[in-house]
């Protein structure tokens, strides 16, 4: 399976300065390659391929050592491939009728990573990582790296000068066959991020809202600083670190939840909920982005494949309105958080929706006919 492993680098002052210089040269080459593509099309109306640019900048790298002398051939190739992928995405958006978004020149604040091939100018050696023109940098290996993942290397500069390294490749582990066992339905929301069909609620930590007071103070202090001054740059880094901390909290939370889900259940039924309708709502947008439900779905998908459990996305239509016991439809407004039916079923609205989601995943769409639904509920084990 294709996997990525990320670690923290601990360069000393000299090594950090060398890394910054290499990153600056990479950005300069990226911008020159972008200008080259733009100018050729502007004057000759011809597109430029990756091979054409490699033939040109391979010679420029040798002739302009003061500009590109710290970049080895592999680093240049990866950089030009990166630009080529950007243009491929640009033309794909044009074909699909989306907003094109022409590739932009990168300022120093928007160019933070560089790529290598392991064994060509860089190599992991025990507890240190060797990089050409930088030396042996200390690395914290909090978990071992499979040999198959020592292929593609990405170095990223984070806020405050911290450096991360990512190893990517095929770890040689085949996806296990789907296992059998317990099943669960999952309803997504903002009050409770997740509600399970067994009645479990995962509360919303509201990472951003709990840090808004600190963010306001930090951003007010930033607004008072003189533009172009060193104090403003330091304060901008403090604001960025706060945002990074919030993002790390959100990522850590979803990693733990998705790992627990995939290790506990063999079938996970989730609603195929488009998030656009809440992220574009002016009253819900902040809470929706803070929740990170899209991150949850992405993590669940790849972890389920590795754990051998099935993830089934079902249509969320009427899952909150239909009774999970008898199938009778009872309209409820968003203010009504309790489901009460004439058949005697009384439970939380979100739990009722989670049970309906599980029914849909096991036996297909819920029918409107009451007897059919009762029969289907009684045959859940057979359907699974």
Positions marked catalytic: 187, 271, 350
For residues 303 and 333, the answer to whether their CB atoms sit within 8 Å is no
Q: Give just the sign of the alpha carbon dihedral 108, 58, 153, 104.
A: positive
Strand partners, 322: 329
Please give the Cα distance from 73 to 81 (Å, whole number). Answer: 12
Extract the tokens encoding 125.
Answer: 């050696």
Rounded CA separation 160/354 (Å): 43
Which residue is it, tokens 């439900």? 293
Phi-psi region at 169: left, alpha or beta (left = phi > 0; alpha = psi -120 to 50): left
Secondary structure percentages of the chain, helix, strand, coil, to 5: 50, 20, 30
CA-CA distance, 32 to 53, in Å (whole number)? Answer: 10
CA 116-117-121 angle, 5° bins: 75
Q: Are 223 and 211 in contact (CB under 8 A)?
A: no
């Amino acid at each position: 399976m294709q996997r990525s492993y990320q670690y923290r680098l601990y360069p000393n002052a000299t090594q950090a300065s060398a890394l910054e210089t290499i990153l600056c040269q990479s950005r300069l080459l990226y911008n020159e390659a972008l200008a080259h593509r733009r100018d050729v099309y502007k004057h000759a109306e011809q597109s430029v391929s990756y091979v054409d640019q490699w033939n040109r900048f391979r010679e420029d790298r040798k002739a302009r050592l003061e500009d590109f002398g710290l970049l080895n051939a592999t680093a240049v190739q990866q950089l030009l491939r990166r630009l080529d992928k950007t243009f491929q995405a640009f033309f794909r958006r044009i074909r699909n009728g989306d907003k094109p978004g022409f590739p932009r020149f990168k300022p120093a604040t928007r160019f933070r990573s560089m790529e290598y091939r392991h064994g060509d100018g860089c190599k992991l050696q025990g507890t240190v990582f060797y990089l050409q023109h930088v030396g042996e940098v200390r690395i914290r290996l909090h978990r071992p790296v499979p040999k198959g993942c020592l292929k593609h290397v990405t170095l990223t500069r984070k806020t405050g000068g911290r450096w991360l390294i990512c190893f990517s490749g095929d770890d040689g582990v085949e996806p296990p066959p789907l296992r059998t066992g317990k099943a669960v339905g999952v309803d997504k929301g903002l009050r409770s991020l997740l509600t399970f069909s067994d009645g479990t609620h995962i509360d919303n930590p509201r990472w951003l809202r709990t840090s808004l007071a600190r963010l306001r103070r930090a951003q007010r202090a930033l607004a008072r600083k003189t533009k172009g001054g060193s104090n403003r740059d330091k304060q901008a880094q403090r604001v960025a670190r706060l945002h990074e901390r919030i993002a790390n909290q959100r990522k850590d939370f979803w990693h733990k939840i998705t790992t627990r889900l995939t290790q506990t259940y063999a079938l996970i039924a989730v609603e195929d909920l488009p998030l656009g309708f809440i992220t574009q709502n002016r009253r819900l947008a902040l809470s929706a982005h803070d929740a990170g439900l899209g991150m949850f779905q992405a993590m669940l998908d790849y972890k389920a494949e590795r754990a051998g459990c099935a993830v089934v996305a079902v249509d969320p239509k009427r899952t909150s309105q239909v009774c999970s016991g008898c199938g009778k439809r009872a309209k409820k407004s968003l203010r009504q958080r309790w489901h009460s039916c004439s058949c005697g079923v009384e439970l939380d609205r979100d739990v009722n929706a989670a049970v309906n989601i599980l029914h849909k995943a096991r036996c297909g769409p819920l029918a409107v006919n009451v007897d059919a639904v009762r029969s289907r509920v009684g045959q859940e084990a057979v359907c699974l």
